[in-house]
Every structure is written in C-alpha cells, then in structure tokens.
C-alpha cells in the first residue's frame, strides 16, 4: 500500500476481499462443511493480500460470533485480534471491515466498535 499514490481514492483501487471471511474452520462439525467459505484463517487471508473482510455476525448472549447459516465459526474478538496483529506488523496497510448481522436481536454496532477498540483495531 505504501507504493500507491497519495492522490488515489479508494474507489479507484481494486481491493481483494473474501466472502464470509470468518468461516474457515469446520473441523469441529462435519455437517457445517457447506457453510465453510474460506480455507485460511483471518490472519493468513490478510498475509495473502486480502484487504476487505466480510464479517457475518451472530449476536450471542455473552459475545459476538462470526457465522454462516446456523453455524458459528469464531468469536469476533478473535478475528479482530488477527486484524490488529496484521496491522501492527504492516503499518502501511489498511483493512476494510464490512459486517452484516445474521442473527440476534437489536443493533450491535456499539458492541462491535467497542470490541474493535478493546482488540486494538481503530474504527
């Protein structure tokens, strides 16, 4: 990213991303294979050049999870830690986080922003 012109705006760039970025490990339950969309964890996706993460959020009573269909794959805070680690190691990079709420009641936006702050990712 540090080689790009400072005059370039985001809409002029081709930004690689993944669909259902947090759905990479289905080893715990064979029936969820059809919900797994990725082969690599969040950190390795970022290392491979992904800069747009599609996060599908399920609101749980005690945490926010990344899921697809009826399956939860990982806690949001674990994904955010991977993003923070990557950004610490690559300070000239950026990552776009897009989220959609799959299930649960209410708007979790405030919780998501707080989790980002708690895990070292600036909003």
Kindly report, residue by residue over 66-123, the tens digit of the pLDDT: 876 666 668 899 999 999 999 999 999 999 999 888 766 777 888 888 888 988 887 6
For residues 92 and 87, what is the distance between their CA atoms, to the nearest angstrom? 8
Q: Where are the domains of the chain?
A: 16-118
In this prediction the pTM is 0.82
CA angle 74–33–104, rounded 5-degree value: 45
- Pair of tokens at residue 79: 């994904």
- Pair of tokens at residue 113: 């922003």
The 10s digit of each residue's pLDDT in 26-66 is 555 555 555 555 567 899 989 999 999 999 888 887 888 88
Between 71 and 10, the more confident residue is 10
97 phi, psi to nearest 5 deg: -110, 120
Domain 16-118 has CATH 3.20.20.190: yes
């Amino acid at each position: 990213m540090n080689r790009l012109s400072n005059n370039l705006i985001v809409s002029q760039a081709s930004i690689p991303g993944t669909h259902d970025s947090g759905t990479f490990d289905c080893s715990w339950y064979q029936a969820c294979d059809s919900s797994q969309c990725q082969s690599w964890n969040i950190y390795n996706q970022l290392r491979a050049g992904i800069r747009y993460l599609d996060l599908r959020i399920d609101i749980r009573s005690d945490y926010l999870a990344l899921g697809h269909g009826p399956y939860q794959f990982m806690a949001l805070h674990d994904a955010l830690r991977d993003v923070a680690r990557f950004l610490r190691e690559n300070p000239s990079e950026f990552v776009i986080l897009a989220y959609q709420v799959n299930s649960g009641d209410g708007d979790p936006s405030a919780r998501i922003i707080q989790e980002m702050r708690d895990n070292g990712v600036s909003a």
